[in-house]
């Protein structure tokens, strides 16, 4: 269809591929972001059709639609035939399905994923707005779960090159859900869909964690209204990678209520503490690093193995982001530990 929406259709122009229709169907923040990208792509390609978008964008949309599959009428069959090699086929088959999409969507096999935001304490108020800055949170729970089978939850923090979506896209959160765990992944301030202000300390983190596990009826209702499961009263294990160590590692020495363990993947900041401090840490720590990470991986390992109750795991052939090098091996280590 031409730029004005009028005029003769191209012979290969599929009906129902208007990007604005796609926008209306998708309400999840990630979905809206991708739909906007598709709209911009389509606008630049005029008078070409949405079916001619590049492979990378097509793959992103395929992955997104697959994750939201279970919320579409007709389930998987609704998506059959939509995608062809190197192009996106007509979206008309999805017309009318928008009301079935919500902030909750299918995560990797074995889990249901929901997203929401929480107010972040310890950060400057947003200028010109009478509200606190927000932190983007994703929760992945076992399918059909109404409560956590374990007495603790897992809370993931990402590195500087990534966001909370990384843990989900690698399938790690979904596999942990399959094993019965409820996991949270946070967008750190300054990254992803969280407030763009970079945090100078970890008060935002302890404040968010407190909201997630404390007996706070308001927050519990907020989570359940988004399609999630309340984890009030649970303990937690913190998983920190690379840059997020600046917020997580200090908690080893100033332990917040509910913290029962930590899993580290080459975190920064371990050289700021002394041997005597590490020797007094009284929670178990699983120290994971990639075999090929000769810098931060080796440095953090050297410091963290001074903790009395530690377990050392080397990811064979793993890079600095060792969980990306072998996601299956990584999630298996988390479950075993």
31 belongs to the catalytic site: no
Q: Tokens standing for 263?
A: 């899993």
222 belongs to the catalytic site: no
- Torsion from C-alpha of 315, 183, 336, 175, nearest 10 degrees: -70
Q: Is 56 exposed, middle or buried (0-12, 13-18, 19+ CB in 10 A)?
A: exposed
Nearest CA-CA partner of 155 in 110, 207, 104, 217: 207
Crossing angle for the helix pair 203-213 and 217-225, to the nearest 10 degrees: 80
Spell out a b/e string for 238-269, using b for 16 or more CB atoms within 10 Å of the CB, else e. bbbbbbbbbbbbbbbeeeeebbebbbbbbbbb
Question: Which residue blocks in 226-270 are alpha helix, DSSP H?
Answer: 245-248
Integer Cα distance of 316 and 273 in angstroms = 28
Nearest CA-CA partner of 270 in 300, 310, 309, 293: 300
| Among 108, 293, 325, 331, the one annotated catalytic | 293
326 belongs to the catalytic site: no
Integer Cα distance of 48 and 1 in angstroms = 8
CA distances (Å), origin 102, targets 6, 70, 76, 99? 32, 11, 17, 8
| Among 187, 194, 220, 320, the one annotated catalytic | 320
| Among 108, 242, 244, 300, the one annotated catalytic | 242
SS3 of 286, please? strand
Catalytically active residues are 242, 293, 320
């Amino acid at each position: 269809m031409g730029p004005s929406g009028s005029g003769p259709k191209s012979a290969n122009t599929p009906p129902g591929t208007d990007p604005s229709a796609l926008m209306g169907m998708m309400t999840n923040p990630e979905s809206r972001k991708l739909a906007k990208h598709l709209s911009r792509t389509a606008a630049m390609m005029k008078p070409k059709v949405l079916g001619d978008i590049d492979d990378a964008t097509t793959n992103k949309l395929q992955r997104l639609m697959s994750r939201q599959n279970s919320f579409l009428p007709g389930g998987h069959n609704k998506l059959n035939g939509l995608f062809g090699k190197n192009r996106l086929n007509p979206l008309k088959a999805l017309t009318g399905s928008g009301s079935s999409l919500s902030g909750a969507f299918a995560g990797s096999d074995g889990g249901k994923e929901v997203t929401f935001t929480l107010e972040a304490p310890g950060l400057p108020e947003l200028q010109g707005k009478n509200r606190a800055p927000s932190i983007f949170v994703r929760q992945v729970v076992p399918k059909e779960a109404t409560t956590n089978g374990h007495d603790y939850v897992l809370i993931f923090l990402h590195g500087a090159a990534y966001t909370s979506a990384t843990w989900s896209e690698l399938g790690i959160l979904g596999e942990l859900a399959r094993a019965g765990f409820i996991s949270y992944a946070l967008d750190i301030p300054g990254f992803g869909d969280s407030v763009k202000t970079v945090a100078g300390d970890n008060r935002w983190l302890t404040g968010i964690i407190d909201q997630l596990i404390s007996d706070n009826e308001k927050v519990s209702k907020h989570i359940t209204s988004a399609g999630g499961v309340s984890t009030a009263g649970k303990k937690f294990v913190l998983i920190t990678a690379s840059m997020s160590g600046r917020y997580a590692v200090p908690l080893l020495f100033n332990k917040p209520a509910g913290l029962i363990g930590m899993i580290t993947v080459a975190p920064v900041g371990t050289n700021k503490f002394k041997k005597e401090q590490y020797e007094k840490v009284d929670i178990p720590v699983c120290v994971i690093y990639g075999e090929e990470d000769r810098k931060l991986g080796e440095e953090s390992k050297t410091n963290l193995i001074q903790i009395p109750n530690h377990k050392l795991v080397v990811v064979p052939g793993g890079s600095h982001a060792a969980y990306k090098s072998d996601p299956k091996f990584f999630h298996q280590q988390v479950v075993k530990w």
